[in-house]
Amino acid sequence: MQHLRRNPGVGVHSHFFYPSLNTEHRPLFLRLPLSLTNATIWCSMSPADTQLTNAPRPRVGIPWRTTQEQRDGIRDKLDLYFQAVRKAGADPVDVSLQQSPAELEKQLQDLDAFVLPGSPADVDPARYGEPRHAKTVNLDPNRDNTDAAILRHALSSSKPVLAICYGCQILNVHLNGTLVQDIHGEKPASGPHGATDLPPGSVKGDIEHQAQFAPESRLANLNGSQAVIINSSHHQAIDKPGENLRVAAHAPDGTIEAIEWTGSPNWVVGVQWHPERRGDALSEKLFAEFVGAARSAREAVAHKM
């Protein structure tokens, strides 16, 4: 066997050669082409794919449903919203109802989007200039104030909002709309919208009814048709829509079931039903589109920095 000899005429990537070995018998590293300066190494993942894979998940703020539930640590219904947001690809963050305005604003600055959940409380009718109805019994000033602060921040900074049930109602009130304080008390001919509308002895829980989406609405496009079946658990509803809100869905009795923001390109949708616990295809699409909007909003802020 011959000894290896240094070849002074060969570059740093090939300091040695095998004079007695044919090419096919040379070690693999000597049969590879020499590396080139600024060469491109091709792989299966594009730069865009890499950015998507490494992109932080959007942070979605969700206020507690009520002050009492927060004090008692009752999370069973709140966690349904957390689960839906996680499944759609974002990280949910609970927003305390007992923060100072300064503490709340500091937290909101660090969040990318917001889900306003349902609540057993009613929006204070003083917020829309009407006397309190006999059936408007549960008020929660902390929840009202927190949601109002979230909406001011989100609308002024173009952060997406998905407002559900109570959240849909306070979104409407925040934009100078009004509410029907008790559907059956004020509109006796209306169909059932919650367990309190059912005869004594009926099985409690969400009821279901038909609804019709407005043509060309965001929700109609998501659903793929105007007709839909929704779950229902509320005794109040939107009366006069707020400023820059279009009605996106009605129940057969005329009750408003959804609203969409038209004041800017920002993604803001309010639904009167409960997609977080319905689990159908429309619910998953709704949360997925919301999280997609949150991701886009986060990226837009990052590009401005």
Domains assigned to the chain: 49-304 (3.40.50.880)
What number is the average pLDDT over the span 287-301?
93
The strand pairing partners of 114, in sequence order, are 61, 161
Is the confidence at residue 3, as pLDDT, over 50? no
pLDDT at residue 197 in the model: 54
Q: Helix (H, G, I), strand (E, B), or coil: what is residue 170?
A: helix
Q: Helix (H, G, I), strand (E, B), or coil: what is residue 28?
A: helix
DSSP-assigned letter for residue 126: G
Cβ atoms of 294 and 112 within 8 Å: the answer is yes
Which active-site residues does the annotation give? 165, 274, 276
Is the confidence at residue 298, as pLDDT, over 50? yes
Q: Which residue has the tokens 């070690």?
A: 27
45 vs 135, more confident: 135
Which residue, among 116, 178, 181, has the nearest Cα to 144 in the 3D structure? 116
DSSP-assigned letter for residue 53: H
Is the confidence at residue 181, as pLDDT, over 80? yes
Is the confidence at residue 255, as pLDDT, over 70? yes
Q: Which residue has the tokens 């602060």?
A: 149
* Residue 108, token pair as written in the block: 């909101």
pLDDT digits (tens, 9 = 90+) for 76-130: 999 999 999 999 999 999 999 999 999 999 999 999 999 999 999 999 999 999 9
pLDDT at residue 194 in the model: 66
Cβ atoms of 118 and 166 within 8 Å: the answer is yes
Find all residues with CB under 8 Å of 205, minimum gap 6, and list them: 195, 233
- CA dist., res. 259 & res. 282, Å (int): 16
b/e map of 162-179 (b: 16 or more CB within 10 Å)? Answer: bbbbbbbbbbbbbbebbb
pLDDT at residue 200 in the model: 58
- The predicted model scores a pTM of 0.81
What number is the average pLDDT over the span 14-40?
44
Distances (CA, A) of 42 to 39, 45, 49, 123: 10, 9, 14, 58
pLDDT digits (tens, 9 = 90+) for 131-175: 999 999 899 999 999 999 999 999 999 999 999 999 999 999 999
Q: What is the mean pLDDT of the chain?
A: 84
Is the confidence at residue 293, as pLDDT, over 50? yes
Is the confidence at residue 259, as pLDDT, over 80? yes
DSSP-assigned letter for residue 273: S
- CA dist., res. 28 & res. 288, Å (int): 49
Is the confidence at residue 7, as pLDDT, over 80? no
